[in-house]
Structure 1
């Protein structure tokens, strides 16, 4: 922790989304609802994949990774927002702030990698169906997931240490959680090198992941358009539609926040973008992936019907 002690302050004050009382109450209820939905839907998706042997495939392996990331992603941010809503003391210790920033960066970067890997999985399934089991073997899937987590963890540590090596003009952070951009704004140090490092990091992680995803989908669409039957084209597209929506929303918000010049940024816009990818996206991801997924819906319905029948049986006989 000696690395962090060079900071000017031992505690920081998170200003939050709003200081107007009735808006704080509305915000609290909205965040609480989003958090509960995030936990329930992502846990349900993980359980569904675990109990259905037909879903033990690479695509669902990465989907459960994504659900786990979304649960943790939301948990690093939302509980602190809920606690701070009605607290007079909205401060956060340097250590707690550093830990929150570290996990937030790690999970955000890992989600970028996992989304890119999921696009590669769809490419292998649609463009190389005869070699799919070899390309996306269990060993390859585990290696890709492990690499995503490891690279993200290392990248996050570097940025967190570098951030808290800076000195700060004041402890008031115009944000609702500890994130790198608002700390750059309150720094009294020369942040040029840190900003360049952040742009390079975000460029490599977000932009590279996005372009790998884009290349995968160019090949996928090229293959789909060669399918003669309209039913076959629709079936192939339906396996990619949910992923395209999630990728567009997530990569778009990440690149707006981390690749935009901070000298021209707005705190209100930054907070809105952070809110979108930190709280809203983890909530809607499992919903998007489940709405048109017949395998997931079928598993839920079958187990729900089974549970209802079991309760009726027990009520009749006991």
Structure 2
């Protein structure tokens, strides 16, 4: 049985709580079921704690993108974040940032600029150097092709505005040496910005869920659990298992698939004493 629109736990921000139709508490799940698996994503976005972060117009990407999905599905939103006629800056060069570019284009943004903290990668990867790891190369999505300016090795220093409303950002170019980032002298610049979307990845699972279950966490805020042995994928709380991003942090879907299969076997062994499921 799939139940959507459900929050597990309490003390969620109002913006999240308003999207849920129901709230379930972990102790109720533990009383009703013989095993519980936490297999959500790493949904806690990485923030940018610079001066002016509180200005109106600076948003997490995932405050922006789900709203458009809901509108596309026919929902009516009272305070949708709209990029129409605005100067938009997207901070972050991954898939989420690309989605912000594409959605802003469809809204009819006046301008769109995307910043990436890392240097511009080569157009063709050095396969012998990076194999078997994910190749580092310049990736241009269909969203980029629709139109935007892209700038690399850029660090945002602060946001500025008037009367609590964002008007511009101040950034600089950086260079990387021996894994350390330093500001390029005399490279500071300003850019007009009405909307800024923070698309810099995710740092951990939603802490309210982990805290509600009372599971032990690692230093990065993920659920602590091993992947081998008799207690594989078991948390510090009896009957509660964990797999994927909620255990390892933000990662690839192939890891989620692998850990999901292995966790299923671990649950089967826990309930039945043995398992024929593949690992």
Give the TM interval when normalised to the shorter protein. Answer: under 0.3
Question: Given the two structures, how large is their TM-score scaled by the length of structure 2?
Answer: 0.28
- Of structures 1 and 2, the one scoring higher in RCO (CA 8 A, sep 6+) is 1
